[in-house]
Structure 1
């Protein structure tokens, strides 16, 4: 394959720290590479070097001639006075970009929510958007262009579960096999497995390559540790635990990476399940009693007049001792409001919230300002101010040991809180909460600013925590790893259990969107029929009716393109999984549904074309 980027002997020194030490590597056409590593080890620096946006202290980077490269950094480069349309599509007329299926997919997949948020859609000014909306616009602007190499630094930040799934699917199908290249830094482990076929780990000044996605990376890394008699016993145990989770999980998690199953099985043969659910539930009942938090016939709404929205409509939802629940939902559906009802920070408009007499709630919010009051303390002092030790499982664990488990070295344990990085502050925030020994723990987007190693350490810590846990997160890997069941807020005022997990949530959302499209299509057909009847009565179609019919034909043609694309994907998947009867049967059901949708679209096109002719 054609080599796109070559790096030779890259060396970067930051202050007194050696970030990269004579690193040589390359990217070729068709590569799909994920970059992982601890915060501060040089992941973003490596990306900027390869994009020629930063100079190395020594070494060089070479691009192939005519390379079309685009990079999404963590900063926000959008001009505040521009509109969304200008930032993403430039001055291209609508018929020009709407005729390109890839650009239409980007606009609908990333920017469709701007209309729902009532902020003006494509005509909204950048300065009026939230941080998450601006991030989506920046990502859309990049993906709408034609590029040979796309470099993404934390692209899943500010995306919900549905947005992450869309982005993974878009990147998988953006290029034909063997064409284009992708390099991405992300802490989203599901995304790594779904998109990447190779992983680079940046650590201690070097970059180690691994074949396969995140699951393969964990397996190979654990096996290397075993073979080389790795001295960091705690680190190896975490890798073994993570691998055991991956092996016990859904088949989709381990089907893509190409590693030796026998070796992986031998490596985790004696590894117990991540947590003893029965024992934890028993301890949680001892600490909490039988009653935790019950939402009984709760109704909650916001806004006034025509803008009033009902988030929860006569909802009854119960949390028991030891429950571990993940919450997913569309933006604005009420996930954070649910947590506020549990804590008591918000009262329902109707119904009641009943809390057990022994309940002690702690919430990890998306803000870390509460650490400002201990900014001048050393990290260990900030933890010990809450408690010197905490009960985890059946033993007391001192504060210093917990700091070490969450990645704080002896030196960092004596660093001022005000000098900690964003990821370190996030870890410290969680640890201080746990030291207070709450029996109900609420985590609101806990993965912000955490690298994959730290996430594994946090999950390991939560495995031994005996209490009721509620997690709101867009990180589906974390949700499935630390919770035992998931519920969804779909924006219709209900709370629905998801026996099929996040995958079921995505399916329900797709069905809801398909229903909305069908309703819109019915309305469009009615409008076309009315215009046709009016034209017939007048003896000839007027110009407005013809324009409406042509617009309808264009819309239908775009939908037919999407259907054809999805049908091709399904046929390919059926060929790949020909020996899996259940998988083929499921794909065939979807294929039949697409055939029915295509037939309806073709009828709509013919109705509109009759008027144009």
Structure 2
């Protein structure tokens, strides 16, 4: 059974160094208490992901820990000489400074070019920018990347990041995860990050803080482990949590069934997950969805036939060239590509917002396409209405997932409580407006839905709710996003734009990242001249790539020995898991005896420490026999 979350603090192994602590923190706003008597700590080796609903205080908590905001009560204490670096969402860069000056200061090139960390950061985040350009000439997304690069180029004991994946494409998010995993030796440094990118949380974090209702619950592991533990917590909660529990159980079902990379876990953890989701139906009935979509769409949706398009004023090079794509009824497709590769242009060709320079776009007669754009223009004209009044302009009943539901019931699936129905649209938060925008689009009953970066302003709970709603939607779905988790969650296949061409990716996002890396390698790492520091970084990358090549296959005799050892480890893990359950039952029985509770807790930590060591050994051995 997964362990229950620890409120306010997590148990840490003996020998770690306490870096920073918040003691009895309280913070009150005019309309609510954000935190009350909150005690939380950061230790060396912590890699913490912070999740929670928008408005519950995630960013505020980071600012308190970084010393940028003083709480009303309590205090934050740092260990002597501990340094903290923070990336927040405010843009504070000097527009007159050059990119290089912001990142490396006034250090001469021969100094910073010899620093592998700085070379890695410059190549990973700013390879497409002229480092001599003033910051004031950059776009908002580019300025955000410069600020992130400036922070990562520094040497801090604790790095605090508030939405660092914003404005990063999939390659950038993958690079950032790899950089943070390599930045410190195991057990050194600490990371605290707020992000809605759930793939990133799984790739980087070993602890999860859930901020809710003026408290912080601490869970072991990244997002997938957090979902597993939260499902167990919700299963034991009151009946009023039933809807939330079912949603998270469905999320867990996808984590186990939809992402093969997440199955490389010890057997007893897989069995624990299976026990929780054994009665959860499949995420999507593909055949049924295709039949429904075919009935509404017919055989023809949208065909792109040898389509090319460019923009006037360009140097003659097209944005897209000779694209051939026949979109099928019920198809659920993700579109990948670097920033500026032409993803939005491709979607506009499909919707008819852009006409091709050559070739033809053929649209079926019964096709009704609707786009969830990156902006919120659809709500601008109805800002003066209350949510309830806007819903009254639609039909009174809709069929979703085989059931008749009112617009208010559908909106409840997206996290709107009854009180919000009377709220003026202009007073809704960005995430609430985004959810309302999605619902109003679905209530128009399109049969082709185009999502262009739909995750803006949404927290992890709301993303899960949106995905749950899309699961029961029967039409054709096209998604362009840098959110890898969402892409793998709601689509069944992926295409990518490379060199102005559209390419199918049977291997999904992993294949895209591999092809992108090969393309960068062939291009020599960039279009501009390569400095000595950049050459060194390229050589470091080649050495790292060589180091990551798989070792030769082991012999049959070695494989038998390893499998025997794996079986022994699994039996030991089963026994330890039984001990955990026994100790937890004893703690519950002795809940009023603090002396015995302390003894039980010490024993529990000892058993969990042994579990962690065995799991690590199991993973190392299992890789050798794959």
TM class, shorter-length: 0.7 to 0.9
Q: CA separation in 2, counterparts of 1:489 and 1:431?
A: 29
1:276 to 279, 285, 288: 285
Per mean C-alpha deviation after superposition, the further-off stretch among 222-231 and 49-58 is 222-231
Q: CA separation in 2, counterparts of 1:304 and 1:456?
A: 42
Q: CA separation in 2, counterparts of 1:392 and 1:446?
A: 20
Offset at 1:415?
0.6
Q: CA separation in 1, counterparts of 2:487 and 2:538?
A: 33
Contact 2:127 2:526 in 1 (8 A): no
Q: CA separation in 2, counterparts of 1:63 and 1:257?
A: 37
Contact 1:387 1:436 in 2 (8 A): no
Q: 1:415 to 1:86 in 2, by over 3 A?
A: same
Q: CA separation in 2, counterparts of 1:245 and 1:315?
A: 32
Contact 2:303 2:325 in 1 (8 A): yes
Q: 1:72 to 1:461 in 2, by over 3 A?
A: same
What pairs up with 1:401-412 in 2 under 5 angstroms? Answer: 401-412=409-420
1:563 and 2:539 aligned: no
**3-state SS in 2 of match to 1:82:** coil
Q: CA separation in 1, counterparts of 2:534 and 2:136?
A: 31
Offset at 1:95?
1.3
Deviations 1:348-403 (A, max 9, x none): 00011000111111101110133121111111222332443333232332111011
Match in the other structure for 1:45 = 60
**3-state SS in 2 of match to 1:309:** coil
Offset at 1:556?
4.9
Match in the other structure for 1:139 = 148
**3-state SS in 2 of match to 1:99:** coil
Offset at 1:555?
5.8
RMSD: 2.3
**3-state SS in 2 of match to 1:495:** strand
1:60 to 75, 81, 100: 75
Q: CA separation in 1, counterparts of 2:63 and 2:519?
A: 40
What pairs up with 1:75-86 in 2 under 5 angstroms? Answer: 75-86=90-101
**3-state SS in 1 of match to 2:26:** strand
**3-state SS in 2 of match to 1:200:** strand
Contact 2:259 2:488 in 1 (8 A): no
Match in the other structure for 2:220 = 211
Q: CA separation in 2, counterparts of 1:411 and 1:127?
A: 43
1:580 and 2:593 aligned: no
Q: 1:582 to 1:284 in 2, by over 3 A?
A: farther
1:162 and 2:161 aligned: no
Q: 1:508 to 1:565 in 2, by over 3 A?
A: closer
Contact 2:23 2:75 in 1 (8 A): yes
Q: CA separation in 2, counterparts of 1:440 and 1:334?
A: 20
Query: Which 5+ residue runs of structure 2 have no aligned equivalent?
Result: 1-15, 554-616
1:476 and 2:455 aligned: no
Contact 1:230 1:236 in 2 (8 A): no
2:183 to 174, 181, 190: 174
**3-state SS in 2 of match to 1:333:** coil
Per mean C-alpha deviation after superposition, the further-off stretch among 389-398 and 278-287 is 389-398
1:186 and 2:199 aligned: no
Match in the other structure for 1:431 = 439
1:459 to 441, 463, 467: 467
Offset at 1:567?
4.5
Q: Scaled by the length of structure 2, what TM-score is found?
A: 0.84
1:91 and 2:106 aligned: yes
Q: CA separation in 2, counterparts of 1:3 and 1:366?
A: 42
1:326 to 325, 329, 334: 334
Q: CA separation in 1, counterparts of 2:18 and 2:166?
A: 30
**3-state SS in 2 of match to 1:580:** helix
Query: Which 5+ residue runs of structure 1 have no aligned equivalent?
Result: 115-120, 525-550, 584-613
Q: CA separation in 1, counterparts of 2:329 and 2:64?
A: 50
Q: 1:97 to 1:389 in 2, by over 3 A?
A: farther
Contact 1:4 1:63 in 2 (8 A): yes
Q: CA separation in 2, counterparts of 1:257 and 1:376?
A: 54
Q: CA separation in 2, counterparts of 1:572 and 1:417?
A: 59
Q: CA separation in 1, counterparts of 2:312 and 2:127?
A: 22
Offset at 1:228?
3.5
1:512 and 2:491 aligned: no
1:353 and 2:368 aligned: no
Per mean C-alpha deviation after superposition, the further-off stretch among 258-267 and 430-439 is 258-267
Deviations 1:83-127 (A, max 9, x none): 11111111111111110111001001000122xxxxxx1011111
2:42 to 16, 27, 34: 27
Deviations 1:233-253 (A, max 9, x none): 111111110000001133422
Match in the other structure for 1:124 = 133
Q: Scaled by the length of structure 1, what TM-score is found?
A: 0.85
Q: CA separation in 2, counterparts of 1:389 and 1:175?
A: 55
Match in the other structure for 1:117 = none
Contact 1:216 1:259 in 2 (8 A): no
Match in the other structure for 1:597 = none
Q: CA separation in 1, counterparts of 2:453 and 2:551?
A: 36
Deviations 1:49-95 (A, max 9, x none): 11111111211111111121110001111111111111111111111
Q: 1:207 to 1:288 in 2, by over 3 A?
A: same
2:373 to 350, 355, 365: 365
Deviations 1:500-546 (A, max 9, x none): 1111000000111122229999x99xxxxxxxxxxxxxxxxxxxxxx
Per mean C-alpha deviation after superposition, the further-off stretch among 228-237 and 251-260 is 251-260
**3-state SS in 1 of match to 2:128:** helix
Q: CA separation in 1, counterparts of 2:525 and 2:550?
A: 24
Offset at 1:494?
1.1
Match in the other structure for 1:295 = 304
Q: CA separation in 2, counterparts of 1:132 and 1:559?
A: 25
Offset at 1:300?
0.9
Q: CA separation in 2, counterparts of 1:77 and 1:569?
A: 39
Q: How many residues align?
A: 547
Q: 1:477 to 1:300 in 2, by over 3 A?
A: same
